[in-house]
Amino acid sequence: MAADTQSRASGSSFYLAMRLMPRREREAMFAIYAFCRAVDDIADDEGPPPDERRMALDGWRADLDALFAGAAPERAAFLAGPVADFDLTKGDFFDVILGMEMDIEETIQGPEFTKLDLYCDRVASAVGRLSTHVFGMEQGPGRELAHHLGRALQFTNILRDLDEDAAIGRLYLPAEALAAAGIKTTQPLEVIDNQAIDAACRWLAARAEAHYRDADRVMAARPAGRLRTPRLMSAVYAAILARMEEAGWAAPRPRIKPGKISLLWMVARHGLVG
């Protein structure tokens, strides 16, 4: 099963950061990622009707209930070791499922920021809370890091994936950003072609930058735990955000990703520290 979870994680932007971890922690992170991919695939599968996808997520809830009650349902068995080894909490897994349900309940288009923040807490910061258990962090700094780094990474993903999301009818740019830019529609394809989209994206980018600063502040205090992986995640994604800000978000938007040389430099700088 370890090979299966690693295979699922190999396409992740975080794969290299996870590879820096000791084997036991690395395999736990692969398992967490495999769970997230499994429930995300359910939410993004537009074939089955919403009721069927909700039932599929309810099936995962039932499996997690059984797992935390001491059973080992076959589908969730790969989580048994990480849950026991790192005291992962059922509530964080359930929060991830709740986030996926938000994508099933409605096609998100220009949500109020409070709703977007809740969505990011569930699909990103909840994963961070699980991860900080694996990093060996204490609850206080661990939850604070998960809060800020989860939001920073998810906001960056939103800004990077504008075109892909719009193609399936989704627009995660918040209503406040659209209003500040003078954009009066929430129709995804209209928004991404609007000349004012750059201003709307910079509204969200500024909030992502603030979360990166707060996440880096938590890590700079050197709390207990293995911080190489979150340091590298923060560095890589902050660099992606900086390159998007330099290029701007007016169409046509280039797909931004770090080059091999810059990635190796970040590994050397951030991945070899405590």
**84 and 64 share a domain?**
yes
Q: Which structural domain range is residue 174 located in?
A: 106-274
**188 and 58 share a domain?**
no
CB 148 within 8 A of CB 214: yes
**70 and 171 share a domain?**
no
CB 154 within 8 A of CB 123: yes
CB 137 within 8 A of CB 145: yes
**255 and 134 share a domain?**
yes
The whole-model pTM stands at 0.91
**244 and 113 share a domain?**
yes
Residue 259's pLDDT band (cuts 50, 70, 90): low
The answer to which of 61-70, 120-129, 179-188, 264-273 has the lowest mean pLDDT is: 264-273
Task: Give every CB contact of residue 153 below 8 A, 6+ residues apart in sequence.
Answer: 124, 233, 237
**69 and 136 share a domain?**
no
**77 and 181 share a domain?**
no
pLDDT in tens, 34-84: 999 999 999 999 889 999 999 999 999 999 999 999 997 889 999 999 999
Quick one: pLDDT at residue 265?
A: 46
The terminus-to-terminus CA distance of the chain in angstroms comes to: 29
pLDDT at 274 over 80: no
Residue 4's pLDDT band (cuts 50, 70, 90): low
**74 and 205 share a domain?**
no
**188 and 221 share a domain?**
yes
- Summary mean pLDDT of the chain: 90
The answer to which of 12-26, 109-123, 147-161, 231-245 has the lowest mean pLDDT is: 12-26
Q: Rounded to the nearest 10 degrees, how much is the dihedral formed by the CA atoms of 113, 88, 55, 36?
A: 60
Averaged pLDDT, 139-158: 98
Averaged pLDDT, 103-123: 97
Task: CATH number of the domain at 224, please.
Answer: 1.10.600.10
Cα(160)–Cα(173) distance, integer angstroms: 11
**59 and 151 share a domain?**
no
Half-sphere exposure for 195 (CA within 13 Å, toward CB): 0
- Residue 36 CA, chain-centre distance (Å), reads 9
Residue matched to tokens 């964080």 = 92
What's 171's DSSP letter?
B
**22 and 70 share a domain?**
yes
